[in-house]
Amino acid sequence: MNNPKAAALEGKVTLITGANRGIGLAIAESLSRMGAHVALCARDEKRLQAVVSEFERDGRKAIAVAADVSRASDISNAVRKTEQELGPIEILVNNAGIGYFVPVQEGTEEMWDAVLDTNLKSVFLLSKAVAPGMIQRRSGHIINIASMAGKSAFAGGSIYCASKWGLLGLTQCMAEDLRPHGIRVSAVCPGSVNTEFSPHTGKDPRKMLQPADVAHAVETIATQEPQSFISEILLRPTQKP
């Protein structure tokens, strides 16, 4: 490749969660075009297979990994399948996320468990699963897709914000634990992104961030020179939507 940044990702095995639509799909498309070999992980196997077929038609290396990342057994299987079919995981993008947006007094234990298991526990378990191999190789990227909701409170956001504040704390501690081993751990914190994820009542989608904007931030992190790392990116639209 003529682009040295793109060449830095040539053949890099990358596991991306929540990769069948929205931000995760945009990240998968971006990194695969830069030469990465991508494992697309999500719950909808049929949708994943359709996406992988599109990648393969373009000559890109990709596999579908159906998994519910809130389940430890699914995580183990996803990591095992990725490494068996593509090789050791060099980049992990923890993107899978869900949200319930209700006043705290209307929230339920089931909502809490679902959001925290998907948005926070899965990051801990996936990172823990790939870290030993990265430590052995003394290299690797773990990139967590957080949110500006991890820095700012809003009505109806108690459960979601709790998961993203926790994710930022986890990311910072992981970075300190793993940086002596040559592993870089980073967070991307986007504001409102124009996806199907959550309602954006009253917001102009043309002024919102697009999934490709988040993918560009991930590209920037993944192509850093080895002597430095970007610990956190705050991503806002140029105009308030």
How far is 82 from 65, CA to CA, in rounded Å?
Answer: 8
Structure confidence at residue 1 (pLDDT): 43
Write down the catalytic residue from 79, 160, 171, 217: 160
Distance from C-alpha of 43 to C-alpha of 20, rounded to nearest angstrom: 9
> Tens of pLDDT along 140-159?
999 999 999 999 999 999 99
Average pLDDT of the chain to the nearest whole number: 94
Q: Is the pLDDT of residue 78 over 80?
A: yes
- Give residue 199's pLDDT: 58
pLDDT in tens, 5-38: 656 799 999 999 999 999 999 999 999 999 999 9
Q: Which residue ranges make up each domain of the chain?
A: 4-235
User: Looking at residues 77-90, what average pLDDT do you find?
Assistant: 98
CATH (residue range 4-235)? 3.40.50.720
Percent share of the chain, pLDDT over 70: 95
**pLDDT over 90 for what percent of the chain?**
88
Quick: pLDDT tens for 185-233: 999 999 999 987 765 666 788 889 999 999 999 999 999 998 999 999 9
What's the confidence (pLDDT) of residue 7? Answer: 67
3-state secondary structure the chain: CCCHHHHCCCCCEEEEECCCCHHHHHHHHHHHHCCCEEEEEECCHHHHHHHHHHHHHCCCCEEEEECCCCCHHHHHHHHHHHHHHCCCCCEEEECCCCCCCCCHHHCCHHHHHHHHHHHHHHHHHHHHHHHHHHHHHCCEEEEEECCHHHCCCCCCCHHHHHHHHHHHHHHHHHHHHHHHHCEEEEEEEECCECCCCCCCCCCCHHHCECHHHHHHHHHHHHCCCCCCCCCEEEECCCCCC
Mean pLDDT, rounded, for 169-190: 98
Cα distance between residue 211 and residue 215, in whole Å: 6
Q: Which amino acid is at 219?
A: E
pLDDT at 211: 96
Active site residue 100: no
Indicate the pTM of the whole model: 0.94
Question: Mean pLDDT across the stretch 62-90?
Answer: 97
pLDDT tops 80 at residue 82: yes
